[in-house]
Amino acid sequence: MTPAASPSARAFYGAAFDARRGKTVIIGAQSTFVGSETWEYDGVTWQQALTATTLVSRESPSLCYDAGRGVIVLFGGYNAVSPGTMFGQTWEYDGVDWTQRTTANTPPPRYRASMVYDEVRGRVVLQGGFGSAAFTDTWEYDGVDWTQVSPASLLRPTEAYASFDRSLGKVLHFGGSGPTGNGNTTAIWDGPTTAIFARYGAGCVGGAGLPLLDSPAAPRLGQNFQVDVLSIAPSSIPFLLIGYGNTSWLSLPLPLDLGLLGINGCTLQTSIDLSLQLTNIAGSATLVAPVPPFSATLNAQIWLQALMLDTLAPNGVACLSNAAHCVVGS
């Protein structure tokens, strides 16, 4: 292939495929320079993404696509020029700009770690990497925080490859390198079954400001799951939109600009497979629903967003909250 445009020659960059937008994203490099550019490939040609935020130059960051929230997640990387800086930051790219995420917990700084999104369990899995030591630990990121789920393993610490095997429904890890040489171990990771409630996407302003969709706790087997819709006009009529996916609705790709329906300035982030009208009590609404205690419900995923019919909104029709990706845990 000979694209009309291409990045300059480079190695040790991070790469991930953004399934929502249908583009491959790369960032970082080790070449005659240490790179900070973001490039996208749409199957025809490459184009540099001119983001408002430019990351500090780095090579060998870990990248993967978080399908639950529709963002590229980046962790770590190394800059031999600055001098010898290893990074321990978490960044997300939504196709427009990079945003740094500050979490209560975080893996130690590292580079050349494997990182992949677990589609069944709805979280990012990071394994190994070089840093202050040759790491063999495993961490998971749910869009809110990092959790160390394995302090050590027999896997090689760095330069291994991992992918999500849909036929197994698990993360597959192979090989790697370390102080004792290269390895050929094949490992399968199924991880713990922790619950997730992770907000994503931007809402649009209504008559009482920007609505917020939130929850005091993530959904767990056999427990009540509470969802709150806050900062809404007392005169508005709230609906909770419940989806089983976040990639398309009525054959239209998501996220969807609702201007085509007259709801200007608002974006739909989830499919609408079910909608529930909620009771507006002085500018807020709450839904409490029991989660079935059956093991078949474990790791079930849904996507939520609130829509308010609101004549006080700037568009005179409606406003929407942020969205949330939910995974049932134990």
Residue 160's domain is classified under what CATH number?
2.120.10.80
Inside any domain, residue 6: no
CB 155 within 8 A of CB 183: yes
Inside any domain, residue 48: yes
CB 282 within 8 A of CB 318: no
Neighbours of 316 (CB within 10 A): 11
Structure confidence at residue 31 (pLDDT): 59
Q: How far is CA 163 from CA 126, 199, 235, in A?
A: 11, 25, 48
Is residue 217 left, alpha or beta, with left meaning phi > 0 and alpha meaning psi from -120 to 50? beta
Q: Report the number of distinct structural domains present in the chain.
A: 2
List the domain range (segments joined by +) for residue 281. Answer: 196-327
Structure confidence at residue 186 (pLDDT): 83
> Are 125 and 210 in the same domain?
no
**Which residue ranges in the chain fall short of pLDDT 50?**
none
> Are 69 and 84 in the same domain?
yes
Structure confidence at residue 29 (pLDDT): 84
> Are 67 and 85 in the same domain?
yes
Contacts 24+ apart (CB under 8 A), 254-263: 254/20, 254/70, 255/20, 255/70, 255/201, 258/320, 262/315, 262/317, 263/204, 263/315, 263/317, 263/318, 263/320
Structure confidence at residue 161 (pLDDT): 86
Q: Which helix (H) or strand (E) holds 181?
A: strand 181-182
Q: 3-class DSSP state for residue 151?
A: coil
Question: Which of 46, 91, 45, 53 minimizes the C-alpha distance to 72?
Answer: 91
CB 170 within 8 A of CB 188: yes
Q: Please report where in the chains the tokens 């497979």 appear, as a residue.
A: 273
CB 211 within 8 A of CB 81: no
> Are 84 and 163 in the same domain?
yes
CB 178 within 8 A of CB 114: no
CB 190 within 8 A of CB 170: yes
Going by the DSSP 8-state scheme, the letter that residue 224 receives in this structure is: E
> Are 147 and 253 in the same domain?
no
> Distance between CA 32 and CA 291 in Å, rounded?
55
> Distance between CA 267 and CA 255 in Å, rounded?
6
> Are 234 and 163 in the same domain?
no
How large is the C-alpha radius of gyration of the chain?
21
Structure confidence at residue 177 (pLDDT): 81
> Are 277 and 299 in the same domain?
yes
> Are 146 and 82 in the same domain?
yes
- Report the side by side order of strands in the sheet with 212-214: 212-214, 224-230, 285-290
> Are 166 and 236 in the same domain?
no
pTM: 0.86
Numbers of helices and strands, H then E, in the chain: 0, 31
Q: 3-class DSSP state for residue 274?
A: strand
> Distance between CA 250 and CA 254 in Å, rounded?
10
Inside any domain, residue 74: yes
